[in-house]
C-alpha cells in the first residue's frame, strides 16, 4: 500500500492546422478497467499566434508606461485586442494597425519601444506620434513583412536609424522627423523600391545623400 509517484513526459508537435486537436490519456488497472481519462486539448496555430500577440501588447503597455496613458480603454483586459484602444485587427484576429496620435499628445506614451513588435506578422500600419518615446529604434523592426506605414515622429528617439529598416520591402511611408536621431542614413533605406514618402527632418543626421535617389521611381516626398 505504499504510495508510488510516476512521472510521464509527452512531446507534442506544434499544431499547424486551423482546428484544435484533442487527445486522450487513459489510466487503466491491470484488468483493463479505465480508472481515469485525461483530455489534452491543443490550440490551433492561429490561436497561439493571437495569444502571443496579446502578450506582446501587454509588454508594450508596460514598456511605455501604460498606466500613465490618457486613454487605455480595455488594455490588458480579457477582451479581444481589437477592442483595445489604438489597436485594429484583421478578420482572423491578428493585429494590422497600431495608432496613437490624437490631439497632438500621442496618448502620453513614454518609455521605449520593444523589439517584440517586430514579431507582429500582419502589422501594416504603425504610428506613434507626439509622445515621449525615447531610446533606439529596435533592429528587430526589420522583421516586419507587411508594414507599409511607419511614423514615429515627434518623439525623443535617439541613436542611429537601424540598417535593418531597409529589409522592410513593403514600406511606403517612413516618417521619423522631430526626434534626436544621429549618424548617417543607412544606404539600405534607399534600396526600398516601394517608398513613396520619407521624412527625416529635424534630427541630428549627418553624411551625404546618395547619387541614386532618383532610382526610387515611386518616391514623391523627400
* pLDDT number for residue 1: 62
* pLDDT number for residue 105: 67
Cell numbers that stand for 199 in this block: 521624412
Q: pTM here?
A: 0.82
Dist CA 139 CA 158 (whole Å): 13
pLDDT in tens, 161-217: 999 999 999 999 999 999 999 999 999 999 999 999 999 999 999 999 988 888 899
* pLDDT number for residue 5: 85
Residue ranges of the chain whose pLDDT lies below 50: none
Dist CA 15 CA 198 (whole Å): 41
Which residues sit opposite 128 in a β-bridge? Answer: 100
* pLDDT number for residue 104: 61
| Chain position carrying cell 523592426 | 141
Q: How far is CA 125 from the centre of its chain?
A: 10
By the 10 Å C-beta count (0-12 exposed, 13-18 middle, 19+ buried), 92 is classed as: exposed
Amino acid at each position: 500500500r505504499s504510495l508510488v509517484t510516476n512521472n510521464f513526459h509527452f512531446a507534442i508537435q506544434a499544431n499547424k492546422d486551423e482546428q484544435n486537436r484533442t487527445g486522450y490519456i487513459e489510466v487503466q488497472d491491470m484488468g483493463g478497467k479505465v480508472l481515469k481519462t485525461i483530455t489534452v486539448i491543443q490550440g490551433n496555430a492561429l490561436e497561439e499566434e493571437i495569444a502571443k500577440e496579446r502578450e506582446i501588447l501587454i509588454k508594450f503597455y508596460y514598456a511605455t508606461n501604460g498606466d500613465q496613458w490618457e486613454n487605455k480603454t480595455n488594455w490588458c483586459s480579457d477582451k479581444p485586442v481589437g477592442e483595445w484602444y489604438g489597436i485594429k485587427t484583421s478578420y482572423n484576429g491578428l493585429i494590422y494597425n497600431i495608432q496613437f496620435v490624437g490631439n497632438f499628445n500621442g496618448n502620453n506614451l513614454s518609455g521605449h519601444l520593444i523589439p517584440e513588435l517586430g514579431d507582429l506578422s500582419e502589422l501594416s500600419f504603425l504610428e506613434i506620434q507626439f509622445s515621449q518615446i525615447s531610446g533606439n529604434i529596435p533592429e528587430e523592426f526589420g522583421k516586419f513583412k507587411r508594414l507599409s506605414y511607419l511614423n514615429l515622429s515627434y518623439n525623443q528617439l535617439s541613436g542611429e536609424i537601424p540598417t535593418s529598416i531597409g529589409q522592410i520591402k513593403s514600406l511606403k511611408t517612413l516618417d521619423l522627423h522631430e526626434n534626436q536621431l544621429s549618424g548617417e542614413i543607412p544606404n539600405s533605406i534607399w534600396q526600398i523600391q516601394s517608398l513613396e514618402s520619407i521624412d527625416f527632418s529635424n534630427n541630428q543626421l549627418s553624411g551625404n545623400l546618395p547619387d541614386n535617389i532618383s532610382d526610387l521611381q515611386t518616391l514623391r516626398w523627400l
